Amino acid sequence: VPELPDLSDLHQGCRFIELPVRGDERGSLIPIEEGSGAPFDIRRVYLVLGTTEGTARGFHAHHRLWQLAIPVAGACTMVLDNGALRRKVRIAEPHRGLLIPPMLWHEMEDFTPDCVLMVLADGPYDEADYIRDYGRYRQLVGGVAEVGE
């Protein structure tokens, strides 16, 4: 079992969450609810699947939304960027969720063809909560703005 990387240098709210696995001779069951796996009330779930080869997606941060990303099948790489530090983590185990706090830029890449990424979120979809411009994101987090921003 590989050790989980410490991600607190990126953001104090960013971390892996070890989900409980109830396993027996039938197989596995992973329950996720407030207080058991998810550190928030689940208001929305979305699935990213059928991602085409070479595709990267994400490229945003949220003002307020918390998300828990769980690779329920296959694997992908999460690129996390706080405006000053950029790290890549491979997520590949359905019992290890990655908690993505607000105000952390994230991208996803290197999806396996079978990857199904399940994301739990603590709020409904709200386009106004997205920061889609990296230069603006850096300004907001206090980094140096891109030339031309």
Q: What is the DSSP letter of 25?
A: T
68, exposed or middle or buried, with CB in 10 Å at 0-12, 13-18, 19+? buried
Q: Among 11, 60, 95, 106, which one carries the catalytic annotation?
A: 60
Instruction: Find the shortest distance in angstroms from Cβ 50 to its own copies.
Output: 4
Q: Which two tokens stand for residue 132?
A: 């889609």
Instruction: Report the run of H or E that residue 138 belongs to, with start and end.
Output: helix 134-141
Q: Which two tokens stand for residue 39?
A: 């550190």
Catalytic residue list contains 60: yes
Instruction: Kindly tell me which of 11 and 93 has the beta carbon lying closer to its own copies.
Output: 93
- Rounded to the nearest angstrom, the gap between the alpha carbon of residue 144 and the centroid of all alpha carbons in its chain is 24
Binding positions for its own copies, rule: CB under 8 A: 23, 25-34, 38, 41-52, 55, 57, 72-73, 94, 111, 114, 116, 118, 120, 124-125
Instruction: Kindly tell me which of 10 and 91 has the beta carbon lying closer to its own copies.
Output: 91
Instruction: Kindly tell me which of 72 and 141 has the beta carbon lying closer to its own copies.
Output: 72
Just list the catalytic residues.
60
